[in-house]
Structure formats: C-alpha cells, structure tokens
Amino acid sequence: MKPFNTIDLFAGAGGITEGFRQVGFNCLFANDFNENAVETFRLNHPKTWVTCGRVEDQEPSKIREKLGIGKGELDCMLGGPPCQGFSIYAPDRILEDPRNSMFRHYLRFIDEFAPKCILIENVPGMLSLGGGKVVDTILRELTNRGYKTSCKILLAAHYGVPQNRWRLIFLASRSPGLFHPDPTHYHDTRANFTGGASLTTRLKPMDALILKPGVTLRDAISDLPLIEAGGGEDVASYGRKRKFSKYAEELRENSEVLFNHTANKLSSINLERLSHIPPGGAWTDIPFELLPAGMKRARKSDHTKRYGRLTWDSLACTMLTKCDPHWGAVFHPEQLRTFSVRETARIQSFPDRYRFLGNKGSQFEQVGNAVPVLLAKAIANTMKAHLTLKTNTARATQNY
C-alpha cells in the first residue's frame, strides 16, 4: 500500500509532520511565514516542498496542480490556523473578522484539495472565543463541506509526552469512524484552563493498572551532558555514557551527535535568585529583597510557576516560546541554569536528530510553538487506521 499523503499549513518547525512521518505519512507540501522555522522544516524533511510566506499569498489551485494530485485525492490536511476573533455580538460574521483570516485561508485549501481527513489544532482557550462561537463556526464550516467532525481537548502526557500541555484537536473525515486516540500513559492532572471539561479525558485511579506510567522530567532529560548557564554547544557529543530511560533511548535513535544543547545566559541577580529555589520551588522561595519590583507586590498565590524549579519526578510545565524564568518554570532541577534548547525539544518529544536552525531565541520559539511529536503521532495512528480501513473497504467493494 502506498503511503498516505499530507500537506501541513502553519507548519512551524514541523512537529505535526514529524509525528505523522513516524507513522508512515508522506508530507507533500508545507507552508509557514517564519523563515527560521521553514529552514528547520526543510532540513528535517528534505523531500517536502516547503514555501515561506503568508498563507494568504499561497494559491491552492497552483499548489495542487504542481503536486499533480486530483481534487479529493489528498489523504490529510494538517495545521493550526490562529483564530483570534471573539465578538459575541455578531457570531454569524466571525469569518469576516480580519483576525480570523487565517482560518478563511485554511478553508480555501480545504475547498481546493477536498482532503479525505482534516486535523486542526489550537489552544483550549479557543473554546471561550466569542462565547464558543469560533469553535461552532469551525464545526459548522466543516460540516457544511460534508465532513463528519468532532473536537476534544487532549493532554500530551496521556500519550507519553513529559509535559502538562493541553491541545484542542479537531478531527474531520468525509466518512464516519475517525476518533481521537485513547490515552496510552497514565497521568492524573487537572486542566489548567476554564471550560471544556466535558471535552477532556479524565482518567481514573484504576487506569494506572492498565496504562503505561507517565513519562517524567527525569526520563526526558537526565541523561544529557552537564552544561552551565550561557554554555553548551550547538553540535556536541553525548559525553560519557550515562544511564538513560527508554524514552531517552527512543529519542536518541542511535544518534552520534547532540544538537542544540545550549542554554541562555543568566544575569547575576537571576543566578542569585536561583540559588535560593529548591526543586519544586518557585518565586516565593526567593528572599523578598531579591524579588523583581513588580513581584514584591504580588500575592503568594499568584504567578505560581514564575521562577519555578521543577522536580525530577514531575511533568514539565507547558513549554513556552521563551525560556525565561519570569515566564514560568524553566529552571533545571539540579544545575544552576534554565533548560537548553535540546531539553525543551526532548520535553516536546522531538528526536535528538531533529535540528533547529536560527538564533537561540528563534530555536526556543520554534520548539515552544510546536505540537508535541508523540501527541501528533498518536493522532496519526488513529488516522492511518481510519484511512486504511476505508481504502480496504473501497477495494473490496470494487472487487466484489
């Protein structure tokens, strides 16, 4: 059987495409406006035709013609179009809001390619935009085009990702039977967003006997070489052999070199603050006189993740686009520094062979914006099973 084909819009550095690639999907075309992310995508997916530019400047008909595929032949369209419009006073005009132009252009590609399946991902906060009207609009637009559509909020940790990261996932197919993946790993955590509880999967204690144990920060990064704040190398060796977990072994994939294991510099004041924060601690452990001026006025119940230092046996917090202690819990459990680019990539379940280009700030941004690879892989597995079943059924019908 030929591999199933995808195109990836708003592709970023390619987290979704990498997850689908690991299941056997072939990405024909990808687009993003971020030059560094596009170069990263090209490096790691050299057989994919990748364009850099605004999605509104892309011509779906010309792209489909160049790819040489007929309308309705594409197996899956991937992507996460931003949707920012939120007026509850004109819900029927959501698509006219210029802030939602990205979704309109995503629909242009759907109309041109008529893919068999669709994946749209976004943050759970989309549920509250326009009082829920943005999500309703997406579901309506896909349904009007003949797709059977559903949405759920998935926790990356349920699929072997060592991170407390939630994503809103829309799945659509021209035929019924496409479902969201069931959890494979146990982790009992509360949603860190309002609304949408009915769309999440809440595991029960008994599930811990059935599912694999959740992957911890220790599993993810404890085997990586020691480096200092501002140190590390963009291309380095793994150094002396250290004991590593099954998760680390799988991400190493027999790699001989380690990419992007570099950490940001820390100011002297941040190094002093860090010296007071134990594993599991945060800004409330910093002596008052060392706190930033704004945080001296904060309540201890506020900003609980700022200047956070995680424990080895915990999940990482959601990886953000900046590895800045003022933003969240990014201090290493043992070393006096923040996470390296490679460590954040490990936490996002990128394999070690996956190299990020651009300056360090751009690399952190690319990693933070990505969908965790193993979450994408879990979705890809369900989509592959669905497409395979439909393909085999169609063949059996023709033979009959």
Active site residues: 83
Distance CA 72, CA 110 (A): 10
> Buried (b) or exposed (e) across 191-227, using 16+ Cβ within 10 A?
bebeebeebbeebeeebeeebeebbbbbbbbbbbbeb
Q: What are phi and psi of 179, to 5 degrees?
A: -120, 155
Q: Which residue has the tokens 């001296």?
A: 296
Give the DSSP H or E segment for 171.
strand 166-173
Distance CA 85, CA 309 (A): 35
Contacts 24+ apart (CB under 8 A), 124-129: 124/153, 124/166, 124/167, 124/168, 124/191, 124/193, 124/195, 124/196, 125/193, 126/83, 126/168, 127/153, 127/168, 127/195, 127/196, 127/199, 128/86, 128/194, 128/195, 129/83, 129/84, 129/85, 129/86
Alpha helix (H) residue ranges in 77-132: 101-113
Please give the DSSP secondary-structure letter assigned to residue 378. H
- Residue 194 Rama label (left phi>0; alpha psi -120 to 50; beta): beta
For the record, the structure tokens of 173 come out as: 């197919």
Closest CA relative to residue 263, chosen from 330, 203, 349: 330
3-state secondary structure of 278: coil
| Helix pair 60-67, 101-113: axis angle to 10 deg | 40
Please say whether the beta carbons of 113 and 70 come within 8 A.
Answer: no
Distance CA 327, CA 262 (A): 19
Q: Using CB atoms within 10 A of its CB, is residue 169 exposed (0-12), middle (13-18) or buried (19+)?
A: buried
Q: Which residue has the tokens 């004991």?
A: 243
Q: Which residue has the tokens 């202690």?
A: 325
For the record, the structure tokens of 34 come out as: 């971020």
